[in-house]
Amino acid sequence: MSVIFEARIKNRGDQPHDWFIELTDTVDGRIEVCNNLEEFSENIEKLGADYGGQVDEVKWSQDESITAEQYSEINAGMRKYEEELNNDSNDR
């Protein structure tokens, strides 16, 4: 069984921080609403714990109404998060 999550960036308004991520566990259909990248990280860990931490893929998508500025903010935050994860795993 592949553990695949879907992360869809959704819009709440026109300001850079007016977004959220709807995180869906495609195995059992659970949905978590993540209001920032910290919540996204926590929810990935929480949902992934049910599968022994094994998440095979996160499929990203976005609503058409997401602005370039919003996308850039999320993309930069995710790159920083991935760098921190890689640094932590290299420290072990």
- Per the structure, how many domains does the chain have? 1
**Is residue 8 pLDDT above 90, yes or no?**
yes
Domain that holds residue 11: 4-90
- Predicted confidence (pLDDT) per residue in 50-60, tens digit: 999 999 999 99
**36, two tokens:** 């920032």
The average confidence (pLDDT) of the chain is 89
Which residues are paired to 5 by β-bridges? 25, 58
Dmax over CA atoms of the chain, in Å, equals 42
**CA-based nearest residue to 22, from 12, 36, 41, 8:** 8
**Is residue 92 pLDDT above 70, yes or no?**
no
CA angle 15, 9, 76 (to 5 degrees): 70
